[in-house]
Amino acid sequence: MFDGFLKQGTARWLVGFVCAATSLTAGCSRPVESPPFVAIEHAISPQPARVGPVTVTLKLTDAAGKPLTGAHIAIEADMSHAGMSPKFAEAKEAYPGCYQAHLEFQMAGDWIILLHVTLPDGKKLDRPIDVRGVRPN
Amino acid sequence: MTPSSIPGQETPESLPFDLMRVPGLGHLFRWRYARPLLQVPLLVLSLVMILHGLFGPTLAPKSLATTLSWLHFRGVLVLVLLCAGNFFCLACPFMLVRQAARRFFTPRFTWPRPLRNKWLSVGLFVLILFTYELFDLWSSPWWTAWLIVAYFVSVLVVDGFFKHASFCKFVCPIGQFNFVASTLSPFEVKVREQDVCTSCHTKDCIRGRREAISDLVTIRGCELALFQPSKVGNMDCTFCLDCVHACPHDNIGILSRLPASELIVDPIRSGIGYFSRRKDLAALAIVFTFGALLNAFGMVSPVYAVETWLGRMMHVSHEAPVLGLIFTFFLIVEPVLLLGLAAWLTRVWARSPRALLSLAVRYSYGLVPLGFGMWLAHYCFHFLTGLYTLIPVTQNAIASLGRAFLGEPRWALTGLPANVVQVIEIGFLVLGFAGSLVVTYSLAEDDSPDKPLRAFLPWAAVCLVLWCASLWLMFQPMEMRAMLMSG
């Protein structure tokens, strides 16, 4: 039925391409180092979150449950839609292990807050926080 | 060669403005490789979008896939359709891949007769709108990339098996959107002088130009079955310029015309037939118009209240059935009620001899300007408010490769202020409303010459209702959620 449909050599060429693409993709993977254990509790006020200024409070504890002091936390807030620029802020340590940052939600909807944490020993970790359903004013 | 075919010679005063006569542009379009020249950059861009969507950032505002697809492509597309014509189809990267594939695959089949209409593409158009809302395509670079891949695969499968431009004419949802919108474009591909066509015996514009001895086609004719001398308007025209290249008399141009004028007249059209007898085309026009409102409704706050309420009423927690109900209401119930009532009133008041369905089909084309106004307002909102975001997203993409030669991402760059864009949006809505009123009145004059006002009023009321709904939507607070019904 398909006599002549697939011209000579095409099948071999296609198979070769798929194999090359697969091996290239597989070769790109790298082993991932497991991040240090840090528990992060978060709170956003006001609740429910509304368009406008908000305060993000973060409590960092280590594996033993002790407050984690001296961390540097860069915050980035993104919307789920293209065309919205991210908002950046730095969290300040208000008291041992507790950090606060001020952000502004410019639009109602779902936001994602990305925490870029640098621990006192220089190790880094990233954590996302979903903030769903920010309400309009 | 006829005198009129010599480039640069005098053009009669009565002839419309012809883009093919513009120095440089005319030469470019006449060049046989003009189309690939436009397609190659878009193909490269498509590949970049696929790669960045699959392997780049997972956040939509940082991805080239989502930023280019849902902001820039859609915005530029509607603006080009408004200001010029269906030039996106001309530069369509999918067709470049298809052409390359046809060097290896020779299509053997003709498109099945029962599918030689717009019903399939109307269904796919609705499906795209539905999946856009259900899977929040705008928020997912990964899904956006796969959508582009799926498009390439679909083109290759359909046009790999079926001859001519089956995908463009009967399948492609973007193409159908462009066909309908381009009825409002100020330019169309058209013969310059009918007399030249009358005396033409070869009909290369449809048959293709052939070698004298072997009879092999060297330059193909229209793959969408549009015979230039009896082609009317832009419906089904991809601006591929095959007819321009095939015509031995250089008698085809890209001529200016009154936008929407093709919606008013109802002659038999090559490759299409009569608009007034094409229920599938009318359905496409209705989905185009009501879908514009539905698509915008999906991004404002009230939609979540409606979804939550419907979810409770239906005792379901999954979004699909709720969304299905909303789609059924907006794309079937609402049009049937509004158009049915208007058609019935037209019959009663203006004593139109046409049947209800025939009236609804005829006047549904009058709603197209309104729908296009809404698409313009919606897409230009995203495009203009996020106009400059392409810069930091590109900088970020380059930087992620380890070579930040474009500098660090300047995330503060966004676009025009929302209050400025809102004025532009209202302008588009007013333009669309005015266009719909003009078209429906012209249809009423044509349909009921004795009582045009009585025939017009019910349709004017439909236009007014839809326009008020559009304005209401534009003033709602925008709310973009990626997880609907999440509580």
pLDDT averaged over every residue in chain B: 93
Burial of B246 (0-12, 13-18, 19+ CB in 10 A): buried
CA–CA separation, B138 vs B480, rounded Å?
9
Q: Could you give the 3-state DSSP secondary structure of residue B360?
A: helix
The predicted-structure confidence for B15-68, as pLDDT tens digits, reads as follows: 799 999 999 999 999 998 999 999 999 999 999 999 999 999 999 999 999 999
Size of chain B, expressed as the number of residues it contains: 487
Quote the tokens at residue B375. Answer: 């698409």
Is B382 part of the contact surface with chain A (CB cutoff 8 Å)? yes
Report the chain A residue with the minimal C-alpha distance to residue B144.
A82
Burial of A64 (0-12, 13-18, 19+ CB in 10 A): exposed
B370's CB contacts (< 8 A; 6+ apart) are B289, B432, B433, B435, B436, B463, B466, B467, B470
Pairwise CA distance, residues B372 & B377, whole Å: 8
pLDDT at B264 over 80: yes
**At a CB cut-off of 8 Å and minimum separation 6, what does A63 contact?**
A37
Rounded CA separation B251/B228 (Å): 10
Please indicate whether residue B486 or residue A110 has the higher confidence score (pLDDT): A110
Q: Which residue has the higher pLDDT, B216 or B445?
A: B445
| pLDDT tier at B317, thresholds 50, 70, 90 | confident
Contact residues, B window 272-311, toward A, CB-based 8 Å cutoff = 301, 304
Whole-angstrom Cα distance, residue B72 to residue B385? 11
Q: What pLDDT, on a 0 to 100 scale, did the predictor assign at position B487?
A: 29
Question: Once rounded to an integer, what is the mean pLDDT over residues B173-202?
Answer: 96
How far is it, in rounded angstroms, from Cα A106 to Cα A103?
Answer: 9
CA dihedral B19, B23, B29, B30 (to 10 degrees): 110
Share of chain B above pLDDT 70, in %: 96
Residue B410 has pLDDT above 80, yes or no: yes
pLDDT tier at B1 (50, 70, 90 boundaries)? very low
> Would you kindly state where each structural domain of chain B is located, as residue ranges?
32-186, 275-402+409-474
Query: What local confidence, expressed as pLDDT, does residue A63 receive?
Result: 86
Chain B positions in Cβ-Cβ contact with residue A26 (cut-off 8 Å): none
- Which residue from B minimizes the CA distance to A25? B55
**Helix, strand, coil percentages for chain A (3-state, nearest 5):** 15, 50, 35
pLDDT at B308: 87
Residue B3 pLDDT exceeds 50: no
Q: How far apart are CA B25 and CA B20, in angstroms?
A: 6
Place of tokens 């269904």: B123
Strand partners, B105: A6
**Distance in Å, alpha carbon of B198 to nearest chain A alpha carbon:** 39
Q: Which conformational region is residue B397 in: left (phi greater than 0), alpha (psi within -120 to 50 degrees), or beta? A: alpha
B424 touches A: beta carbon within 8 Å: no
Q: Decide if pLDDT at B225 tops 50.
A: yes
Q: Nearest residue on chain A to B298, judged by CA atoms?
A: A109
User: Which of A80, A82, A108 faces B386 most closely, judged by CB atoms?
Assistant: A82
Contact B61 A5 (CB under 8 A): no
Chain B residues in contact with A10 (beta carbon < 8 A): 104-105
Which residues of chain A does B391 touch, with a Cβ-Cβ cutoff of 8 Å?
none
Domains, chain A, with CATH or none: 39-134 (2.60.40.10)
Distance (Å, rounded) from C-alpha B428 to C-alpha B374?
A: 7
Q: Is residue A22 over pLDDT 50?
A: no
**Residue B214 confidence class, pLDDT cut points 50, 70, 90:** confident
Mutation target vs A (from B104, B156, B396; most A CBs, 10 A cutoff): B104
Higher per-residue pLDDT: B197 or B6: B197
pLDDT tier, A7 (very low <50, low <70, confident <90, very high otherwise) = very low
Tell me the per-residue pLDDT of B244-263, one tens digit each, with 9 for 90 and over: 999 999 999 999 999 999 99
Can you spell out the DSSP letters for B110-165?
Answer: PPPGGG-SSHHHHHHHHHHHHHHHHTTGGG-HHHHHHHHHHHHHHHHHHHHHBSTT
Alpha-carbon distance of B202 to B205, in angstroms, equals: 9
pLDDT for the residue numbered B49: 97
Maximum Cα–Cα distance across chain A: 77
* C-beta atoms of B414 and A86 within 8 A: no
pLDDT interval class at A107 (50, 70, 90): confident
Residues of A whose CB is below 8 A from B106: 4-5, 7
pLDDT-derived band of residue A16, with 50, 70 and 90 as boundaries? low
Mutation choice for A interface testing from B47, B59, B143, B413 by most A CBs within 10 A: B59
Q: Which two tokens stand for residue B448?
A: 């009921």
Residue A102: CA count within 13 A, CB half-sphere: 3
Q: Which residues contact A47 (CB under 8 A, 6 or more apart)?
A: none
With b for 16 or more beta-carbon neighbours within 10 A and e for fewer, the B257-268 pattern comes to bebbbbbbebee
Residue to substitute from A12, A24, A78, A85, interface B, most B β-carbons within 10 A: A85
Amino acid at A64: A
Peptide bond into A48 cis (omega under 30): yes
Q: What percent of chain B has pLDDT over 90?
A: 85
**Cβ–Cβ below 8 Å for A84 and B482:** no
pLDDT of B372 higher than 70: yes
Write out the residues of chain A at the interface with chain B, using a CB-CB cutoff of 8 A.
4-7, 10, 51, 78-86, 88, 107-110, 112, 130, 132-133, 136-137
Is the Cβ–Cβ distance between A81 and A112 less than 8 Å?
no
Q: In angstroms, what separates the C-alpha of A66 from chain B's closest C-alpha? A: 33
Whole-prediction pTM: 0.88
- Rg (chain A; Cα; Å): 23
Q: Which two tokens stand for residue B251?
A: 């008698």
Is residue B71 within 8 A of residue B121, CB to CB? The reply is no
Residue B46 DSSP symbol: H
Instruction: Provide mean pLDDT across the span B415-442.
Output: 96
Q: Does B408 touch chain A (CB under 8 A)?
A: no
| pLDDT value of residue A11 | 47
> Which H or E run includes A96?
none
Q: Are B354 and B347 in contact (CB under 8 A)?
A: yes
Q: Calculate the CA B64 to chain-centre distance.
A: 22
Confidence of residue A13 (pLDDT cuts 50, 70, 90): low
Positive or negative: CA dihedral B237, B242, B244, B248: negative
Say what the pLDDT of residue B13 is. 58
Q: What is the pLDDT of residue A35?
A: 61
Predicted local confidence at residue A85, as pLDDT: 84
- Contact across the interface for B480 and A79, Cβ inside 8 Å: yes
Please name which of B51, B67, B41, B3 lies closest in space to residue B394, comparing C-alpha atoms: B67
